[in-house]
Structure 1
Amino acid sequence: MLFCLTASHRNTEFDVLERLSLAAGSTGADVIAAHDFVRGAVVVATCNRFEAYLELDEPVSAGAVLAHEAVLDVLQATAGADADALRRSAVVLQGDEVVRHLFSVSSGLESMVVGEEEITGQVQRALRTARDAGTTTPLLEQAFQRAAHATREVRAKADLAGEGRSLARLALDLVGSRITDWSGVTVLLVGTGSYAATTIAALQARDAADVRVYSSTGRAQRFAAKYGVRAESDLRTGIRDADIVITCTARYTVGPDDVPADRARIVVDLGLPRNVDPAVAEVEGVTLIDLELLGKHATVPELSGGAHEVVGSAAAMFAAERDAAPAVVAVRSHIQAALEAELERLRGDDTERTESALRHLAGVLSHAPSVRAREAAAEGRLDEFERALEIVFGIEVDLSSEHGNLRAVS
């Protein structure tokens, strides 16, 4: 069974989300180590959400309640009072609700800026992190991989790709209320991740001519060459020369000592945990725009093309394919068994070409019933398909195993 504990900017304070994000790295492994009924875990921590996706053993009595407490118990040790805040604000999902929510999150439909582009990459990075930590399961892998596919469908059918929605663009819209001519200002980006690339595109669309980049990892030169901007080797010098500073990096925190009080300057913090010490707002001449302020200015647009309907359809198809898997395995196993029996009869002869042809035939024969099984599951008629298997092939689908077994009916 799939389970998700989710907290976002809609129901949880940004300060709480920020501190929880610091504990996200070890949460999945800790939950699995502490509780035998948790098979796997993927934790998604972004600038406006903290989510723990778990696969639980079935059957688990009161599984959602147990999983909820399991996550909170682990966070209690690292997050303290923030775990209590999470207990009050988090939403718990289970079963097929989890898949639909994951697809919706990956598509940007649950984001602060609805339809934002960066969230898909963040969701997939969470999967890779869990994979590296050894905390994923086949079911979680399938769900997260299909989330990326659902996102592409949403962007194609709901026309989100052309909208260019992102936190970076929202931030520049707010900055733009104070800038009359972008070509005359110097902009410094701190960090070279996906937000930096999106920000450069948005700045170029606004005719910003002097864009610079700093990275504490030494990647600024290569990044600058790729995007046609200027690399800065020293952060304080870069900030001193900039009119606008935009940060999104996990490796550095800009403090008051980094920002001179020599003139008006806008500092934008897109990071969680924060990349800019809130005390920077007290530096004379500085206007600080952070995620909390952006959240207050984010609007919920009307989405064309039925984005939520696309997500719902993708989630339903995922569930149908999962439910149909035992029947599909039964059909394929039945045909393969018949094929092996026939090949065994022919062993010893020069049958290489015959064997290849028969194996191809088995695949062809399996294909149509497999498609029909998934269609029947999606339409709620899987029981009819299983009865047809018994009538036509003499096969009974055994649902007791993970992938389904079959029994020939005499």
Structure 2
Amino acid sequence: MLNWKRLVSAALGAVTILVLTVGVTATSAGAESNGGVRVMPLGDSITEGTQVPGGYRIGLWQRLAAGRYTVDFVGSQFNGPGSLGDHDHQGHPGWRIDQIDANITGWARTHNPRTVLLHIGTNDILQNYNVAGAPQRLSTLIDRITATVPEADVFVATIIPLSNAGQAAAARTFNAAVPGIVQAKVNSGRRVHLVDMHSKLTTSDLIDGIHPTAGGYDKMAAAWYAALQAVPGSIGQPGATPSPTPSSPAGPIRGVASGRCLDVANVSQANGAATQLWDCNGRSNQQWASTAAGELRVYGGKCLDVNAAGTADGTAVLIWDCNGQNNQKWRLNADGTVTALGSNKCLDVSAYGTANGSKIQIWTCHGGTNQKWARA
């Protein structure tokens, strides 16, 4: 059964006190989540901020704050100065496209980003690593991201200039292929966007011929910010109320009778999307986090919701924008049942179903196995 007390205890035990100083780094860190739209800065040392710890993330964070956007940077890495309000990122100095590709599925499942900022390819050129194949490797990486988090907006940047003449020419050749790659993804229905980062900087903006100066990183920040503002939803709405911080890590919830997971049908993020049982697969539509407000959140900003605040047996359970109303509040009970506070009824699998696609509803609590849930 769902051991909620154990989950809460584990979450509290994972809290780490962090001293925020320029150049602080760590292999992992507790997320500084404010419940906002999850944005993953993804790439190499230019994402990490080599030479200027925090890099473009400093100026981007400051622009987002000034614009009253509520955003949560996510990733397994952590660094930057105190002026950077959220230090989490997924930047890896020295890494090539293939190395990011080998790890992205796990990172995306763990952090479930709503938006990805991808600047990668510089080390393929610096290491002269099959440079002719770099565009295809980038295409494969984008496919991997969109397959893992299909509802995310993925912003793909051309790489910034390099000072070495030969490497600069290779960068221009690589960059020339990027618009076509992005357009192909768009044509196939994926949420991928091009950011022309190369034109925003010159070699005079580089501190060592590779990494930007503080001013160069700020030019990158401005380019990212403009691109994000142009895509509705990628950073939410200005002035949106921050979401409650999750009191447990996001993860699957399994029906005891079926062994299948609580799932949003068709990986939809639309208001009113149905919930169901489905084979547990680790995708973002099966990742649920409980909050101190009593919500069960998926995709960060959607809540498990009793349709139209209904209280009758058989009322459908779906997802909706989190709004703080009682039909989005749940009590997680020690016996594995989950009570809808608005109706005092239980989260229930319709007709004792155990098959893929079995619908989720509320029903008078009776202790049956179709009302018992556990963390997978």
- TM-score past 0.5 threshold: no
Structure-1-length-normalised TM-score: 0.29
Query: Between Structure 1 and Structure 2, whose CA radius of gyration is higher?
Result: 1
**Taking CA–CA contacts closer than 8 Å with sequence separation of 6 or more, which of the two structures ends up with the larger relative contact order?**
2
More strand by share: 2
